[in-house]
Amino acid sequence: MDSDKARLLLIEEIDVLCELDHPNAIRLEEIYESDSIIYLVQELCHGGELFDGLDIQEDYHYSENEARELVKQILSAVSYLHCQSIVHRDMKLENFLFTTKDYKSSTLKMIDFELSKHFKKKVHWP
């Protein structure tokens, strides 16, 4: 690690990843550490980014049914994170991967929890 701050950010990301147990969030499989490097082994997703999947669509858009299924998976992951008092803070198409190359039947996985933070739940609305 280049600095203590970078190491603390990585530790926070690892803490978040260790808490995740949802079908639409990437799973952390193992952590290996050497004197200078920390390796995070995550589940393998062969299908590529949601952004790239959009690029190969006819007319560069998903059908209404496809979009509904994708948004359902995205919102399921976001809802799960918020119930765990975690906010992702970097939501974009590039941070969702398809588990397989057959995107029509593939599951989406939320990735890149580098900017994620824990938050305190508010009991009452303002």
Write out the catalytic residue numbers.
90
CA angle 114, 115, 116 (to 5 degrees): 95
Q: Say which residue the tokens 């200078």 belong to.
A: 36
Say how many C-beta atoms besides its own lie within 10 A of residue 82's C-beta: 13
